A and B are shown apart, each in its own frame.
Chain A
Amino acid sequence: MLTASNLVRRKVFFLVVLILTLNLPLLVPYGFRLIEQIILYSGLTLIWVILYKFLGLFFLGISGTVGLSIYLVSILHQFQISTPLDLFAAFVLMILILAPLTYLVLRASGGYFALLTLGLNLIFPLITSSLDASYFSVSARYLSFDIGLYMHFILIVVFFILSFLWLYLHMPVKLKYTLILIKRGKEIAESLGINFVIYRYFIVLLLLIVMVVLGIIHSTYLFRVDTSTIFSSELTLIPVTAGLLIVIKTKDDAFIDIIISVLVPVLYLLFGIVVPALVEVLLGLLIFGALAFMFKKMMVSK
């Protein structure tokens, strides 16, 4: 009989199979970097979609957050701080930066929140490039981490936790309903005894910290760090597009969502690196098409 616990067990089993499948490219040269990129984008997608679907926050500052984490690691690495102390110090510094910043941007909501967080993608590179040009007098830094397999294991664990959180949020659990109430607004949440400001702040901060962890792990795979590459628009573009596809699609199945979060980066890595601009055009059209379809559905249901 297909009970709820059976269903969860089955999904976790499929998740394990998915992760093992993801690791197949380890057998080929460069497979390591390929998996890392797929898992990075997939993890970012899951974070984005949790923020959007359960908190109603259209977060666009992904490349700013991830890029700044990589930048801090590269600076600490430049000062010859030993690994993993440099990674940990970058992590702490990012929390110190994000804690007040999250509070500030959460003052806005809806489209205003989207634009404020989009600002982070522009402000952080401006700061880092100015610092590089004026104080550090470098145009790029070269990293040499020799901890590939160890980091790869942590990356898989983070991905597994995020995927499990996503599956968990699709079950009838207290956390899911708390988040939905927070999404509905301050009055509704507080009338049911939920501290709207504190809850929302800590959940968003926690998800951003996971994003920072992904960024820091990503930095250990890089050899060269400069502002134009670490704040690349793909870091925002791919998770948002995959996330939108997850939100817009009609069938509400958490496992299919995880598959989409993996497939979109795979497709990007297959085709997008050759002609990224064409992918942008297609993604733009895809968003239009999906929304048009959604509106049509809404009209029919009315």
Chain B
Amino acid sequence: MMSVARFINIGAGAIMAVGAYTTYLLTSISQLGFLATAGLVFLTSSVIGLVFYLGVNKMGLFDQPEHTIEDLSVILSYGFYLFITGGLSLLFGARYTSVNVKLELPLSLSFIKETELIILIFSVILASALHLIFISNNNLGLKSKAIMQNIQSSIAIGINTKRIFAIVFVLSFGVLGLSGCLYVLLYPLNPYFGLYYTVLGFVAAGVSGVGNLLYSFIIASVISILYSFLGLLIPLGVAIAISYILMLLILVVKPEGLKRGFR
């Protein structure tokens, strides 16, 4: 969303929460398996993404210059975040809730837990799929790369930017919802849990260089591993803070990120 649509989405964590609570609802009222649940969560989040995009587009945000879109998107997504997390708090309460999800992996591995393996597989598939859609040299990928470089020039050469933005919103919201669905496999949820991941995701994108999906994925993985290891030696909170400050320092030395993206 940041690279293609210039939309800085502070509300990303709220969509994760929507995905997590949809999983909670589906598993509470039905006997659906994990894959079916994940599919429905993706669908629900995507629909929310489409509705949100249509609303924002109707307002006229995407008719503004690029820097205005970036600045106002922060305010808009902040409003969206408040609306969704407040709504979820009203519906489910702000306390932590555990979700009982049935997993269907007929494996017994000693080196990794079943849930962790599923999350790993899902993450790799999602990152690869997004890379294939937006970065590789297919029709959509080429159009996305053109928009990443310059929106006005892309319009001038006949690319329907708004259709691409709609696809970006639908897929991003879908993936965010899905990550909320994966989150509940490991941790209890509350409406505000996604905020931390929003910041982590943003910093990973900033450090890797905006527009570099693969690098963002690698950096996010490195950060997670780094503070997991540091967490063995020092309190976890301090370890996360050290990782965060390290990333800030990288951004000071290289404001454009470690690897320059398409912009």
User: In this assembly, does B252 line the interface, its C-beta being within 8 Å of a C-beta of chain A?
Assistant: yes
- Given that A126-B240, A291-B75 are contacting pairs, would A114 and B61 also be in contact in the complex, using a CB cutoff of 8 Å? no
* B235 contacts A284, C-beta separation under 8 Å: no
Flag if A126 contacts B83 (CB, 8 Å): no
For B198, list chain A residues within 8 Å (CB): 115, 118
| A123 within 8 Å of B (CB atoms) | yes
B-side interface mostly: helix
Question: Bound state CA distance, A295 and B249, in angstroms?
Answer: 37
Bound-state CA distance A284–B83 (Å) is: 5
Q: Which of B76-101 contact A (CB under 8 A)?
A: 76, 78-87, 89-90, 94
Please state if A284 and B86 are interface contacts (CB–CB under 8 Å): yes
The A88-113 residues at the B interface (CB cut-off 8 A) are: 103-105, 107-108, 110-112
Quick check: B8 and A111 within 8 Å, CB to CB?
A: yes
Is there an interface contact between B236 and A291, defined as CB atoms closer than 8 Å? no
A280 and chain B: residue at smallest CB distance: B86
Closest to B203 in A: A119
Q: A114-B8, A123-B244, A127-B241 are in contact. Are A291 and B59 (CB under 8 A)?
A: yes
- Contact residue among B60, B236, B252 (Cβ-Cβ distance under 8 Å from A104): B252
**A127-B241, A130-B235 as given contacts; A278 in contact with B86, CB under 8 Å:** yes
B83 surroundings in chain A (CB, below 8 A): 280-281, 284-285, 288
Least Cβ–Cβ distance between B147 and chain A, in angstroms: 18
**Chain A residues in 8 Å Cβ range of B70:** 110-111
Closest to A133 in B: B235
> Per-position contact with B for A265-296: 1 when CB-CB < 8 Å, else 0?
00000000001111111111111100110011
Interface string of A113-144 (1 = CB under 8 A from B): 01110110011011111110111000000000
Cα A299 to Cα B241 in complex, Å, equals 44
Question: Which residues of chain A are within 8 angstroms of B85 by Cβ–Cβ distance?
Answer: 280
Q: A111-B70, A114-B74, A280-B82 are in contact. Are A119 and B244 (CB under 8 A)?
A: yes
Q: Which residues of B are found within 8 Å of A112, using beta-carbon distances?
A: 8, 202, 206
Interface status of A195 (Cβ within 8 A of chain B): no
Contact of B59 among A119, A134, A292 (CB under 8 A): A292
Contact mask for chain B residues 1-42; partner A; CB cutoff 8 A; 1 contact, 0 none: 000000010100000000000000000000000000000000
The interface on chain A, measured as residues whose beta carbon lies within 8 A of the other chain's beta carbons, has a size of 52
Indicate if A58 sits at the interface (CB-CB under 8 A): yes
Query: Does B196 touch A at the CB level, under 8 Å?
Result: yes
Most chain B CB neighbours (cut-off 10 Å) among A103, A282, A291: A291
Interface check B134, CB cutoff 8 A: no
Could you tell me if B76 and A295 are in contact, using CB atoms closer than 8 angstroms? no
Beyond A114-B10, A118-B10, A118-B195, is A284–B252 a contact (Cβ under 8 Å)?
no
- Chain B residues closer than 8 Å to A299, beta-carbon distance: 60
CA of A127 to CA of B238 in the docked complex: distance in angstroms?
Answer: 5
Bound CA–CA A273/B240 (angstroms): 32
B239 (CB) vs chain A CBs: closest residue: A130
B84 touches A284 (CB 8 A): yes
Interface membership of A254, Cβ < 8 A: no
CB closest chain-B residue, reference A135: B235
B82 touches which one: A110, A126, A237, A295 (CB < 8 A)? A237
Question: Nearest CB to that of A247 among chain B residues?
Answer: B75
Beyond A279-B86, A284-B82, whether A295 also contacts B60 by CB under 8 A is yes
Chain B positions within 8 Å of A279 at CB level: 86
Tell me how far the C-beta of B203 lies from the nearest C-beta in chain A, rounded to whole angstroms: 7
Are B237 and A129 in contact, with the CB atoms below 8 A?
yes
Question: How far is the CB of B247 from the nearest CB of chain A, in Å?
Answer: 9
B192's nearest neighbour on chain A, judged by CB, is: A233
A240 to B74, CA, bound (A): 12
A residues in contact (CB < 8 Å) with B: 56, 58, 60, 103-105, 107-108, 110-112, 114-116, 118-119, 122-123, 125-131, 133-135, 233, 237, 240, 244, 275-288, 291-292, 295-296, 298-299
**Closest A-B pairs by Cβ, 6 of them:** A280-B86, A284-B83, A130-B237, A287-B79, A111-B8, A130-B235
Contacts A111-B70, A112-B8, A244-B75 known; list 18 others, CB within 8 Å. Answer: A105-B248, A110-B71, A110-B74, A114-B74, A122-B199, A127-B237, A127-B238, A130-B236, A130-B237, A277-B87, A277-B94, A284-B84, A284-B86, A286-B79, A287-B82, A292-B59, A295-B59, A295-B61
A-B CB contact pairs (8 Å), 17 listed: A56-B71, A58-B75, A112-B8, A112-B206, A115-B199, A118-B198, A122-B199, A123-B244, A125-B237, A127-B237, A128-B237, A233-B192, A277-B89, A278-B86, A282-B86, A284-B82, A288-B80
